[in-house]
Amino acid sequence: MESIETIKTQVKQVLEYSQEIPVCRLDQLFQDWKKNKQKFLSTMKSTIYVVDTPVTFELDNESKSDKINEFIDWVCSEYGRDMAEFFIANSDGIFDNKLIHAWHSFPAGMKLSKVLMKEFGPDAEQARQKLSMVIQSNKVTGRLCLSVHPLDYLSASENTHGWRSCHALDGEYRAGNLSYMVDDCTIMAYLKSEEDTKLPHFPESVPWNDKKWRCYFYVDNLNGIIYAARQYPFHTDTGLQMVADLFRKFHFFDDNYEREWNQRVDDNIRYGWRPSDEDKQLPHKYFKHWGIRGETVINNIPFYFDQTKVIVGTDATRRVVPMDSYIETHSDACCFNDVICSHTYSPWMMVYRYDQDYMPLGVRKKLVVGGPCMCVTCGRHPFKDSDTFQCTECDVSDYEDEDESENEDASETFADIQPATAPSSLWNLWI
């Protein structure tokens, strides 16, 4: 494992370069990181665990549909309606590069790219190249990693693969990277390219891994639950399953879990159970899609939830309760917690400690995600704004030059959002 001083120097270089801060003071930041990430560091024996062989992720159906729609929108904008209708008619065959329905004189089954060039001529070459990129994006290959390395938190949305999020180092939640870095529950999984590279907001002196896919995970050992935040830039069930296997490999970073499991096995043996070697192994647990947000149908009744909910309980006692009764964001953290804050993501969870495959009806204590961080300039006062790593005293940004019209636009935007209605008996909504 790299020395902490080496990592601190690299983080210092990245922050000074990307945020144009003359001098960074990071002693307190790294003390908090080392203390709070200790369970991950001691179990993995490193800041990063890298799977030995490359793995391949395949997009889920929703992600495929999104890419197809984006491609067809681009085709319509660049080439017009005729070519767009060609792809719309054969949208089910885009990822297989296959003509699904006969098109003029071309029979079904031909290569879509070949028909494209014959039908629309040499001018369609750019569309063919774009089609090829879409087809290749269906499966993504790289090295799967688990990490609590500080540079991975900083590079959460820094890459050369054409995607970003609000946690990019020029994003509105950039400071949240450090909030995740210093809490005691957030670990990152990602799929990286084979070679390190110069990332957009990293200096040449700090080449780093190039993330093709990544996801934050919030590990709640007290209640035996792991939450998956939103995946970027696409959702993959395959990736979640592979990460679940890695968590199992490391006993879910829970010191008590293996002991408790072995005790249950021993107790059952005393009562006459004769397990095979496979039966004695830690059970295979995977992420389930128990989160609900937006429009959904329960028992043939449509609902709209403007707050993230979670399905809990057994078949006999199943109901829907607010997600924030299980997990919350630290009041002084600057991160964007997708599990409870996103308007577009309905979360996936894994309950690993219990034999039952459902969310518990309640938890002993809510998981707190993110943590407070000291200003990287003075190192004495916490920073409060999500788009800066500095406290108010040290931030030299000229706020007076901000365009007041931006605030007016924001007000109008929020005014357009209508409050959703929900049944008064929501807390006891049985499904």
- Neighbour count for residue 85 (Cβ, 10 Å): 14
Question: Is the pLDDT assigned to residue 391 strictly greater than 60?
Answer: yes
The residues facing 292 across adjacent strands are 309
The residues facing 291 across adjacent strands are 310
DSSP H/E element including 228? strand 225-228
The Cα 373–Cα 207 span in angstroms is 25
- Neighbour count for residue 159 (Cβ, 10 Å): 25
Query: In this predicted structure, what is the pLDDT of residue 430?
Result: 37
Question: Is the pLDDT assigned to residue 339 strictly greater than 80?
Answer: yes
- pLDDT average, residue stretch 335-346: 90
Taking only the tens place, the pLDDT of each residue in 70-99 is 999 999 999 999 999 999 999 999 999 999
Question: Is the pLDDT assigned to residue 424 strictly greater than 70?
Answer: no
Residues in the chain, total = 431
The C-alpha angle with vertex 44 and arms to 40 and 46, in degrees rounded to 5, equals 95
The residues facing 214 across adjacent strands are 190, 232
The C-alpha angle with vertex 339 and arms to 337 and 341, in degrees rounded to 5, equals 60
Helices (H), 137-218: 150-154, 176-182
Q: Which residue has the higher pLDDT, 333 or 275?
A: 333
- pLDDT average, residue stretch 319-323: 91
Q: What's the whole-model pTM score?
A: 0.82
Which range is least confidently modeled, 39-48, 109-118, 420-429? 420-429
The C-alpha angle with vertex 91 and arms to 85 and 96, in degrees rounded to 5, equals 135
Q: Which of 219, 162, 196, 161 is nearest to 367 (CA)?
A: 219
The Cα 75–Cα 314 span in angstroms is 48
Taking only the tens place, the pLDDT of each residue in 199-229 is 999 999 999 999 999 999 999 999 999 999 9
Concatenating the DSSP letter of every residue in 328-367 gives EE-TT-----HHHH-SS---EEEE-SSSS-S--S--SS-E
Tokens of 218: 């919030």
Query: How far from 336 is each of 19, 171, 242, 413, CA to CA, in Å?
Result: 20, 11, 25, 20
- pLDDT average, residue stretch 255-263: 84
The Cα 367–Cα 181 span in angstroms is 16
Concatenating the DSSP letter of every residue in 292-319 gives EEEEEEETTEEEEEEEEEEEES-TTT-E
